[in-house]
Structure 1
Amino acid sequence: MSALLTVEGLRKLYGDKVVLDDVSLSVAPHDVICLIGSSGSGKSTLLRCLNLLEDIDDGVITFEGREISDPRVDARAVRSRLGMVFQAYNLFPHLTVLENCTLAPRKVHGVRRAEAEARALEMLERFGLADQATKHPDRLSGGQQQRAALVRALCTHPTLLLLDEITAALDPELVGEVLEIVRAEAAAGMTMVIATHEMAFARDVATSVCFLHEGRILEQGPPTQIFTDPREERTRQFLARVL
């Protein structure tokens, strides 16, 4: 199956500091790629580069057969095909949950209000948030806010969903309810690239796991290989600490 997204030789610097170095990655339709590694290893920066929120210093990113790392590319048009959910939710505080979920479909995709609201309410019902639709984000728990952020991303029917440490800011008892949504989307065939510290989740859901260390993908393979028989000593050291 041809790749939906490819990254070749990606390099990213902040000043003199190399944050990503020679990163290459291929994502086929329906893949769930989990990025693991210590904080500061480059996972979040890689996701931000894929979503064109960060300029890159070298390399090529191709999405749906088109190079999107070209500075002349319309980044907003690319992002309209992607969904991204952040660690800190990033819901608009002045909008209700329903308004958050319908904003992009209406303003970016030109969906009529009634249709956008019907779709959003259906998704909110599916993920146990229908009774929160008219509330503002500050009236929701952390788990509810992150579920709302996931629904907002899914309401645009993204071709690729990027998830950046979406459980990191949650209390432990709320982690499961958020990951359950991601599991359901993975089972339904959603293509995803996920930065996560949840090793059990990565082992169960990923089609491929990438271990990042100091800005490089040091090892990549199926979850069974990465978690039971890692080839790299750094991978073994990391897993020994976190498992």
Structure 2
Amino acid sequence: MTGKPVLQVRDLVKRYGTHTVLNGIDLDVAEHEVVVLIGSSGSGKSTLLRCVNLLEELDDGQIVLDGVDISDPRANPDHARRNMGIVFQAFNLFPHLNVLDNVTLAPKVVHKVPEAQARDRAVELLAKVGLADKAQAYPDRLSGGQQQRVAIARALAYDPRLLLLDEITSALDPELVGEVLALVRELAAGGTTLLMATHEMGFAKQVADRVCFLDGGALIESGPPSQILEDPRHPRTQQFLSRIIQAGRL
């Protein structure tokens, strides 16, 4: 990792009852870096993203954002979340609001941005994600790929320091995956700091600065895409990727 750390995760532990989902995760994400989490379903990728965003209560460990310990019980979680955007597998758009209102809602209500300023930013972002002509459309009139691009625009509306993406193509039809990944590729090229979980290995190889393999709640191996995806050193990483290759996904 090079550059100033935006995110620092230290010895993160998360349990559900007696089941340990995350077991001592250490992870840094530098400014403008793209870190991609890979691993089988149940490996802890989504839980890690939810813990970083403080949507899950930690059992142990520390999460530091821009030098501030946001996992401290005395910290204001809403203040921390204002500096992070998160996009989930499901689009989670408000069906009764049009696209423009979906994107402007949080800046106006949560961040107290004046309406005209929020609308100007939303129009700019919708143009960036290729949906300037859909500002007045309602979510049920959009394809899945278009809805996911709106969700990404909404997450970017308040210029977060860190954007978290959780398997954002997994709910899409195969023909719609490309348009969403193209947008993420543009964001990465533009310097957005990204921490994302994905099953799209070819995409991870193209866009990531660093790939992290999770298995059983542990971070098993981390490094450049060329090393992790082409020459993994840990036997468990090798086993996982051999199955991916057999399935024709890498």
Q: Which TM-score band applies after superposition, normalised by the shorter structure?
A: over 0.9
Q: CA deviation at 1:2?
A: 2.9
Structure 1 length normalisation: TM-score? Answer: 0.98
Write the deviation string for residues 33-84 of structure 1: whole angstroms up to 9, x where unpaired. Answer: 0000000000000000000000010111111101111122111111011000
Q: Distance in 1 between matches of 2:98 and 2:33?
A: 32
Matches within 5 A, 1:135-154: 135-154=137-156
Aligned residues: 243
Counterpart selection for 1:185 from 178, 184, 187:
187
Structure 2 length normalisation: TM-score? Answer: 0.95
Residue 6 (structure 1) aligns with: 8
Residue 200 (structure 1) aligns with: 202
Q: Distance in 2 between matches of 1:72 and 1:8?
A: 18
Identity of aligned residues (%): 60
Name structure 2 gaps, 5 residues minimum.
246-250
Q: Distance in 1 between matches of 2:48 and 2:105?
A: 26
Task: Tell me, yes or no, if structure 1 residue 80 matches structure 2 residue 78.
Answer: no
Counterpart selection for 1:117 from 100, 116, 119:
119
Name structure 1 gaps, 5 residues minimum.
none
Farther-moved stretch of structure 1 (19-28 vs 91-100):
91-100
Matches within 5 A, 1:26-65: 26-65=28-67
Q: Distance in 2 between matches of 1:127 and 1:13?
A: 37
RMSD: 0.9
Q: CA deviation at 1:91?
A: 1.0
Residue 19 (structure 1) aligns with: 21
Look up the SS of the partner of 1:4 in the other structure.
Answer: strand
Q: Distance in 2 between matches of 1:128 and 1:101?
A: 14
Farther-moved stretch of structure 1 (191-200 vs 99-108):
99-108
Write the deviation string for residues 138-158 of structure 1: whole angstroms up to 9, x where unpaired. Answer: 111100100000011111111
Look up the SS of the partner of 1:190 in the other structure.
Answer: coil
Q: CA deviation at 1:96?
A: 1.0
Q: CA deviation at 1:112?
A: 1.2
Look up the SS of the partner of 1:12 in the other structure.
Answer: strand
Residue 90 (structure 1) aligns with: 92
Q: CA deviation at 1:126?
A: 2.3
Residue 209 (structure 1) aligns with: 211
Q: Distance in 1 between matches of 2:27 and 2:141?
A: 39
Q: Distance in 2 between matches of 1:64 and 1:191?
A: 12
Q: Distance in 2 between matches of 1:32 and 1:215?
A: 21
Residue 248 (structure 2) aligns with: none
Q: Which runs of 4+ in 1 moved over 3 A?
A: none
Q: CA deviation at 1:132?
A: 1.4
Q: Distance in 2 between matches of 1:83 and 1:16?
A: 30
Supply the AA of the counterpart residue of 2:165: L
